[in-house]
Amino acid sequence: MNELMMIPLIARIRSIREVTFDTLMFEVAIEKDGKEVPFSYLPGQFAELSVFGVGESPISITSTCTRPGLVEFAVREVGLVTEAMHNMRPGDNMGIRGPLGNGFPVDEMKGKDILFIAGGIGLAPLRGLINYVLDNRSDFGAVDIIYGARAPNLLCFDWEFDTWKAAPDTRVHLTIDAPAAGWNGSVGFVPAIVKELALPPGNRLAVACGPPIMIKYVLEDLAAAGYRDEDVITTLEMKMKCGVGKCGRCNIGAKYICVDGPVFRLSELKTIPSEY
């Protein structure tokens, strides 16, 4: 955490990679007083990225701490700040505060089989965790990744899929919403694939992130399949502003998404109103 929590460090853009037509991935080095400094974080944490003079947005960290070096953020263009980020070039700088939030409970996940379920840009926070798990492969059980998007060209991080498929005891199940030319994979919404695969709970944790409607159905389906609420994990990543539990915007019930989350077990979510 920065000495003065509202004061950002500099995130120097080293490279920019196109993820989809509206999403770019920024690889940044963190600088303090003109010198590069280390940035240690956990999978599932986020940072407040800012374009000086435009504003600040909470963005999930999509790289993994098992691969030290540059930090990666996938940014979808949805508003003023993210639009300004999309106009940036390598060498430009952003402000950064972080890492913020709790991150995934990686120690408690050890020894478990893991079912990752993601839709669209929702893969961004899970990508860091997937790569963390695969970099510590022997600490975890079977890995299944269900990932869907509206169309093939909207699947994020497609350069990862072959590596993930090649990892031991790891399967990747891709799906798109409607048939498309040249697509040989599954067709159907993510919840339908979850049902179809019907992976039993057993020693398995489910980690889900995606649009609210996807999450709604996925959570129902997992409950119906016998998953216990404490074995279902999601990341809310919404409504945040200050990122440090002060400004009040992300308050839901007695929780603040930015400091008590963004990662929550379903058992915790059931203790707060469903204003998410």
Partner 1 sequence: MTVIGYMKRSALEGVLGDISDKLEVIAPLPSGDKGAVELRRFEKGAQVSIGPVKPMLPLKTIFLPPVEQIFRFSKSENETTVTASTPITRDRVVFGALGCDIAALALIDEVFLREPVDEAYRERRTRTTIVALACEGQGPECFCASVGIDPVRPGGADVVMIPVKDGFIVETITKKGEQLGTMLQGALRDPTGPQKKTARSFTSTSRSDVDLSAPAGGWSAVWESEAWEDASARCIGCGICTVVCPTCHCFDVHDERHGNGGERFRKWDSCMAVNFTMMAHGENPRPQHRARVRQRYMHKLVYFPENHGAVACVGCGRCAVACPNRTGIGEVADRMREREEDSNE
* Dist CA 111 CA 10 (whole Å): 38
Looking at the Cβ atoms of 162 and 275, the one nearer to partner 1 is 275
Told to check if 37 binds partner 1 by CB under 8 A, we report no
Q: In this chain, which of 114, 143, 244, 269 binds partner 1, going by CB under 8 A? A: 244
Q: In this chain, which of 17, 37, 52, 169 binds partner 1, going by CB under 8 A? A: 52
Interface mask toward partner 1 for 156-195; x: CB under 8 A: ----------------------------------------
Interface mask toward partner 1 for 90-109; x: CB under 8 A: -xxx-x--------------
Told to check if 249 binds partner 1 by CB under 8 A, we report yes
Site for partner 1 in 191-230 (CB under 8 A): 212
Taking the complex as a whole, how short is the minimal distance between the CB of residue 246 and partner 1, in angstroms?
Answer: 6
Per-residue 3-state assignment (H helix, E strand, C coil) for the chain: CCCCCCCCEEEEEEEEEEEECCEEEEEEEEEECCEECCCCCCCCCEEEEEECCCEEEEEEECCCCCCCCCEEEEEECCCHHHHHHHCCCCCCEEEEEEEECCCCCHHHHCCCEEEEEEEHHHHHHHHHHHHHHHHCHHHCCCEEEEEEECCHHHCCCHHHHHHHHHCCCEEEEEEECCCCCCCCCEECCHHHHHHHHCCCCCCEEEEEECCHHHHHHHHHHHHHCCCCHHHEEEECCCCCCCCCCCCCCCEECCEEHHHHCCEEEHHHHCCCCCCC
Told to check if 72 binds partner 1 by CB under 8 A, we report no
Q: In this chain, which of 7, 181, 198, 224 binds partner 1, going by CB under 8 A? A: 7
Given CA atoms 87, 127, 148, 260 in this order, what sign does their dihedral have?
A: negative
Told to check if 35 binds partner 1 by CB under 8 A, we report no
Q: In this chain, which of 15, 67, 68, 78 binds partner 1, going by CB under 8 A? A: 78
| Total residues binding partner 1 (CB under 8 A) | 44
Looking at the Cβ atoms of 53 and 111, the one nearer to partner 1 is 53
Told to check if 27 binds partner 1 by CB under 8 A, we report no
Chain contacts with partner 1 (rule: CB under 8 A): 1, 3-8, 10, 34, 50-57, 78-82, 91-93, 95, 212, 238-239, 241-242, 244-249, 251, 253-254, 272-273, 275-276
